[in-house]
Chain A
């Protein structure tokens, strides 16, 4: 499978990359690890005229502790660097677990944190070769006007299957986005539109600079549970991140979130105050949240396992995740 022709740039600093992006905008695609982009280009889902390789931009790489105690993860940090960071392993355990569960080690050596959070939505009827796709009508995601996964569907149902985003959102992480004229830092949850066709709110002229994690907190616990058919390579069929901050008694939840992935076109967030603010973490709390996760999960038949099974597994994994955080 060959890649189509494109013009190639590899800027050395962020400002040059932003300038190139400002000139070429919608015709250009940003290359980081390539594990998502180059595959889609090979399948002819994308044919950009221009590729801007960000890998030579050193300022976008690495895990750093900031003066205010927060932790900045550069967008070009490879997943392997995240996994081998003792800071991440010790203080952000759920994120470390999730990074280890992304695909398999050789792809963790390539894939980046920025690329992972900006991962495109996927569909069994879309992420296929050109020849395969020609056997079906053109779908919404490919620019057509019907959905091949949901009969009579009025919009694109492609599923968001990132592993890092649910944990990062559960941790209330922020994302820093650079445009040519300004830089903005927004809660990571706002990066996702929840729309299958256009899952990210990132502008054409913006580059993800990195992720800002809140300072380490010894009372915070975070875990990630992932369902997949094989123990490697596969995208999540359901993923659940649970993050709670414990009160001094160790039995009451002061704050927290449950965030699901692969059950909709964006991360699904469950964070009603009444279920997380000063609530005892007893069996009924676990069961109530598991039920909420079940209700909020809206999988459709566009991955390899049936939606009914994935919806039920959202409940099971939420229960497992919450039992892990309350007993850890």
Chain B
């Protein structure tokens, strides 16, 4: 199959890649760029584990073709921390115990980051709405909501 040259801006770094059109962004991130923080969950766009930010918007990388995001800016969980210093949302997740098995955390944290970028002081309902597309099977969501609210108040 013919491969297509693309350039992606992943966590601020330009990446030149040659990809077959049937490769998803998730596969490129995990297999080619070895960024394993983005999880491969249901693979069908339902669970939210593979969420990444494209131009600051959370999207599902498992049902996004890599060739379709040519030239766009992609942020994965690896792009949040500043060296060894965690991003305030990551810090809040640790602080509030919002992580159990950790499988949903990358997607949850990126979704929360996108929310706080567009809405500095979200109401409880807005937090719930924002993470409504991300499934967590451990926490019951309470601590995740608390962590996002804490990160927001830290921000304010």
Contact = CB atoms under 8 A, between A and B. Distances in A.
Contact of A105 (B21, B46, B130): B130
Contacts of A6: 21-22
A139 interface: no
B44 interface: yes
Nearest to A232: B132
A6 B65 CA distance: 12
A42 B133 CA distance: 20
Contacts of B68: 10, 31, 34, 53, 55
Contact of A38 (B1, B58, B65): B65
A51 interface: yes
B48 A106 contact: yes
Interface in B45-62: 45-46, 48, 51, 57-60, 62
Contacts of A231: 132
Given A35-B63, A105-B58, A109-B57, A5 B20 contact: yes
Contact of B2 (A7, A38, A103): A7
A3 interface: yes
Given A106-B48, A109-B58, A34 B63 contact: yes
Contacts of B48: 104, 106
Residue with the highest number of chain A CB atoms closer than 10 Å, among B23, B63, B68: B63
Given A3-B22, A233-B46, A8 B67 contact: yes
Interface in B1-60: 1-2, 4, 20-24, 27, 43-46, 48, 51, 57-60
Contacts of A53: 65, 67-68
A167 B43 CA distance: 30
A8 B130 contact: no
A316 B81 CA distance: 50
Interface in B109-129: 111, 129
A106 B65 contact: no
B64 interface: yes
B63 A105 contact: no
Contacts of A80: 57
Interface in A255-276: none
Given A6-B22, A8-B21, A110 B132 contact: no
Given A2-B22, A106-B111, A10 B67 contact: yes
Nearest to A5: B1
B67 A105 contact: no
Given A8-B67, A233-B132, A110 B60 contact: yes
A270 B27 CA distance: 46
Interface of B is mostly: mixed
Interface in A232-251: 232-233
Interface in A29-56: 31, 34-35, 38-39, 42-43, 51, 53, 55
A107 interface: yes
A107 B22 contact: no
A295 interface: no
B45, B46, B58 pick with most chain A CB within 10 angstroms? B45
Contact of A104 (B2, B62, B133): B133
Contacts of B134: 104, 106
A307 B21 CA distance: 41
B45 A3 contact: no
A46 to B, nearest CB: 13
B21 A232 contact: no
Contact of A107 (B4, B21, B24, B133): B133
A106 B44 contact: no
A43 B44 contact: yes
Nearest to A103: B133
Give the residue among A2, A80, A109 with the most B Cβ atoms within 10 A.
Answer: A109
Contacts of A110: 59-60, 63-64
Contacts of B60: 35, 106-107, 110
A106 B22 contact: no
Interface string A196-224: 00000000000000000000000000000
Contact of B132 (A3, A7, A38, A105): A105
A134 B79 CA distance: 42
7 contacts: A2-B22, A5-B20, A7-B21, A106-B48, A106-B60, A106-B133, A232-B129
| 7 interchain residue pairs of minimum CB distance | A104-B133, A232-B132, A8-B21, A1-B43, A3-B22, A38-B63, A106-B58
